[in-house]
Amino acid sequence: MTSSSAQSPRRLAFTKGHGTENDFVLVPDPEGTIDLAPSDVAFLADRRAGIGGDGVIRVVPTVLSGDPVAVGQASQARWFMDYRNADGSVAEMCGNGTRVFAAYLRREGLETADEFAIATRAGVKHVHVSVDPAGQTRYSVNLGPWALQHEDRAREQGSDALVKVAAHDAMPALSLDLGNPHTVVALPEDKELDELDLHVQPAVNPAPTEGTNVEFVRPVGPGHLAMRVFERGVGETRSCGTGAAAAALAMRWWAGGDDQSTTWTVDVPGGTVYVRPLPGQEVELSGPAALVADGEATLP
């Protein structure tokens, strides 16, 4: 791979897309020659000085990705979703990102079937493309296995962490692994989602070593939630796919169930996604994806 500093200034083709307004700058890298430094990612994600996005996704053939984990998935998936958060940090997974990545692969003719796989740092994810009742293309992604982070502690106490937001009292929370880390808070009845000031990072205690995404959830009805999220490496975003899955699974766990017949509806500020628990402790995320612009960026 070429060092980013050796080629400065560089021009990069990009596509801008979003999944329920969780937005991404996609950087096609068909030859596996683009080395995105954290500063390049931060520039592309910058909403004023750059293009703007919650994350940056390099679209690279699995075998040319330069990532041994991805190369190991090459027999199952042709393309690797090389995901970075807006601050330049690397993330294992992005649920909304997989849908936008899938939409890009289909638009470019890089995947033509309705079912295909994507390589990620959190393993191979299987995508199914269909049309929803309103005639919109729907992307369903098996996010794979999920787990409670501290099952024993959670079973003893009903929660395994405390989350504090600004002036509010610390709230009990549940930590889940969806390939990336999540901490879910069910809002107490006397608080509304709109009351939370998420300009400042919520404090999680104990603080996870690798950081965490924090979801705040309020039931809307049976199998129906509303959620806000503070994403690791970004800040508050308008949606988070793995976060929506974590929120639905946490609410199901708190309700004492392992019901697999309910598809959860999760309303986020940017739209609605659907979460379906699958057998074998796996979970599926469904929703829309949009590709809204194509261009060329000049990196400083």
Active site positions, annotated? 94, 240
Any binding-site annotation on 205? no
Strand 115-120 relative to strand 55-61: parallel, antiparallel, unpaired?
unpaired
Nearest residue to 174 (alpha-carbon basis) of 143, 214, 146: 214
Quote the least distance from Cβ 97 to ligand LBFN2T5F, whole Å. 6
Distance CA 253, CA 124 (A): 25
Q: How far apart, in whole angstroms, are the C-alpha atoms of residue 120 and residue 68?
A: 11
Site track for ligand LBFN2T5F across 69-88, x = CB under 6 A = ----------------x---
Q: Binding to ligand LBFN2T5F (CB under 6 A): which residues in 13-42?
A: 22
- What's the chain's Rg over C-alpha atoms? 19
231 binds ligand LBFN2T5F (CB under 6 A): yes
Residues 6+ apart with CB under 8 A from 240: 22, 95, 96, 213, 215, 229, 231, 268
103 vs 114: CA distance, rounded Å:
11
Nearer to ligand LBFN2T5F, 88 or 243 (CB): 243
Which one of 26, 45, 102, 234 is in contact with ligand LBFN2T5F (CB under 6 A)? 234
Q: Which of residues 237-256 bind ligand LBFN2T5F (CB under 6 A)?
A: 240-243
Measured between alpha carbons, how far is 175 from 186 in angstroms, rounded to an integer? 12
Q: Is 154 exposed, middle or buried (0-12, 13-18, 19+ CB in 10 A)?
A: buried
Q: Which helix (H) or strand (E) holds 230?
A: strand 224-231
For ligand LBFN2T5F, the closer of residues 15 and 213 by Cβ is 213
Question: Which of 157, 174, 188 minimizes the C-alpha distance to 249?
Answer: 174
DSSP sequence for 223-279:
TEEEEEEEETTTEEES--HHHHHHHHHHHHHHTT----SPPEEEEETTEEEEEEEET
Is residue 180 near ligand LBFN2T5F by the rule CB under 6 A? yes
> According to CB under 6 A, which one of 94, 154, 185, 250 is a site residue for ligand LBFN2T5F?
94
Query: In angstroms, what is the minimal distance from the CB of 111 to ligand LBFN2T5F?
Result: 20
The mark string for 185-224 relative to ligand LBFN2T5F (x by CB under 6 A, - otherwise) is ----------------------------x-----------
88 annotated among ligand-binding-site residues: no
**64/269 with CB nearer ligand LBFN2T5F:** 269
| Alpha helices (H) in 62-108, listed in sequence order | 68-71, 95-107
Q: Minimum distance from CB of 45 to ligand LBFN2T5F (Å)?
A: 12
Q: Partners of 17 in the beta sheet?
A: 24, 291
Identified binder of ligand LBFN2T5F from the candidate list 15, 62, 65, 96, rule CB under 6 A: 96
Q: Are 145 and 281 in contact (CB under 8 A)?
A: yes
Pairing of β 203-205 and β 79-85: unpaired
Q: Which stretch binds ligand LBFN2T5F (CB under 6 A): 32-40, 68-76, 163-171, 233-241?
A: 233-241
Residue 65 engages ligand LBFN2T5F in binding (rule: CB under 6 A): no
List the binding residues for substrate.
22, 85, 95-96, 180, 213, 231-232, 241-242
Q: Which residues bind ligand LBFN2T5F (CB under 6 A)?
A: 22, 55, 85, 91, 94-97, 180, 213, 231-234, 240-243
